[in-house]
Structure 1
Amino acid sequence: MNDCQLYLITPESLDPAAFAPRLAEALDAGPVAAVQLRLKNVPDDAIRHAVDVLQPIAHARNVAFILNDRPDLAVACGCDGAHVGMDDGDVATARRILGADLQLGVSCYDSRDMALRAGEAGADYVAFGAFFSSPSKETEVRADPALLTWWSSMIELPVVAIGGITPDNCGTLVRAGADFLSVISAVWSHPEGPGAGVRAMNTAIAAAEDA
């Protein structure tokens, strides 16, 4: 079983200045592999501003900073990569925009075919989900943990699990072979703050790996 790591996604709406200390608290609380800035329905200038404020916090802690949906802005803003869905444009085009050095992640929902095609088109990792109901994003897709096991046993490309993941339910996904667990509410909505959320997730990941 691979070591599983935490992959944080930001809320869809945030005030960068107010969110900055929350991000720092989360990243100071324990290992995090990446932060994905996922802003929806905001102008490009707002995205650029958020990157300017938040990316240095991640980079100061050696955490990758990934931009959702927009490989063009990821390049322009000096991000570490971009994450796209299958309805956000052609994967091969995103690969060309990002070049060889930046990371490209692709949401593949519950589709083996989508994931295989994404890998062939140059994705650096694929994401499956939702595995559980999520307060952050409504989705009709419900992926089976067996999909993670199939992928990790057949394909070397890293795989991310997403969708309603909490310390209480993540063990199944860790044991199934997820390389990364992508979380939103479990950290940002934790009643004791995002640092406590990161610690709780990492404790649960470690427990599942030791089981």
Structure 2
Amino acid sequence: MTEPENRCRLVLVVPDIANADERAAIVADALRGGDVASVILPQYGLDDGSFQKHAEKLVPIIQNAGAAALIAGDSRVVGRSKADGLHITGPASEIADAIDRYADKLIVGGGNAADRHTALEVGEERPDYIFFGKLDGDIKPEAHPKNLALAEWWASMIEIPCIVMGGTDPASVLAVAETGAEFVAMRVGVFAEPAQAPSIVAQINALLDEKAPRFED
């Protein structure tokens, strides 16, 4: 699998599916579609035990496809499932705590950065990335304009990479790429029709290959 190093790359957010085997099969299929930098697994409404079982099924599938597996939820699940990192949806203080505990072992990023002030607070903790939007924030075809504006501001002045939540339309990845963001996250846009997920991942990569701006070395 080739990894585009000089343009915005795709991050997948796993859909909310209660059956672990069904969920694992859908994600595995999607990952066959092309380049995916990382996959974020939210806890949604699962209790900790069920979340652990889902993670143990999904993490090796994600890693075998060459992507990083990031857990959003119970931090104990990260170690037990041998995931690559922890996605924090809370404030900068929560990111700071996670970095203190796991920085040498895991990818740590995220942050509930809904404005510039909060984004800078998160940035001061030196996470591996910052996330603009919510993991379930893809409720319209296009990415949220506020997140696009934050990403453009951030990418122009801060070296810490950013991930921006896209919309429900796969083509929304291009507006994210044009901000200078390193990564675009997709959930409904890829998984709304699970059988189509591999071809949509392929289409997104083709679109980014053709039209996304290139980063300077």
TM-score bracket, normalised by the shorter chain, equals: 0.7 to 0.9
Within 2, Cα distance between the matches of 1:25 and 1:135?
23
| Post-superposition offset of 1:34 | 0.5
Unaligned regions of 5+ residues in structure 2, if any?
A: none
Q: Does residue 19 of the first structure (1) align with residue 23 of the second (2)?
A: yes
2:131 corresponds to which residue? 127
State the secondary structure of the residue aligned to 1:14.
coil
TM-score (norm 2): 0.84
- 141-150 or 39-48, which deviates more: 141-150
* Cα pair 2:180 2:213 within 8 Å, conserved: no
Which runs of 5 or more structure 1 residues have no equivalent in the other structure? Answer: none
Structure-1 residue corresponding to 2:174: 171
Match of residue 33 from structure 1 = 37
**RMSD value, Cα:** 2.5
| Residues matched between the structures, number | 205
For 1:37-52, list aligned pairs within 5 A.
37-52=41-56
Q: 1:183 aligns with which of 182, 186, 207?
A: 186
Residue 18 of structure 1: how far off its partner (Å)? 1.1
Q: What is aligned with 1:148?
A: 151
TM-score (norm 1): 0.86
- Spell out the pairing of 1:63-82 with structure 2 (5 A cutoff): 63-82=67-86
Q: Mark the CA change 1:210 to 1:117 in structure 2 (over 3 Å): closer, same or farther.
A: closer
**Secondary structure in structure 1 of the residue aligned to 2:123:** helix
2:95 to 78, 82, 91: 91
Q: Residue 7 of structure 2 corresponds to which residue in structure 1?
A: 3
Are the counterparts in 2 of residues 190 and 196 from structure 1 also a CA contact under 8 Å?
no
CA 144–43 in structure 1, closer or farther in 2 if over 3 Å, else same: closer
- Per-residue Cα deviation, 1:113-160 (whole angstroms, up to 9, x for no partner): 222211222311001126xx7339xxxx85152322221121110010
Question: Percent identity at matched positions?
Answer: 26
Whole-angstrom distance in 2 between the partners of 1:31 and 1:88? 30
CA distance in structure 2 between the partners assigned to 1:58 and 1:156 by the alignment? 26
- SS for the counterpart of 1:108 is coil
Distance 1:69 1:114 in 2: 21
Distance, in Å, in 2 between the alignment partners of 1:41 and 1:60 is: 26
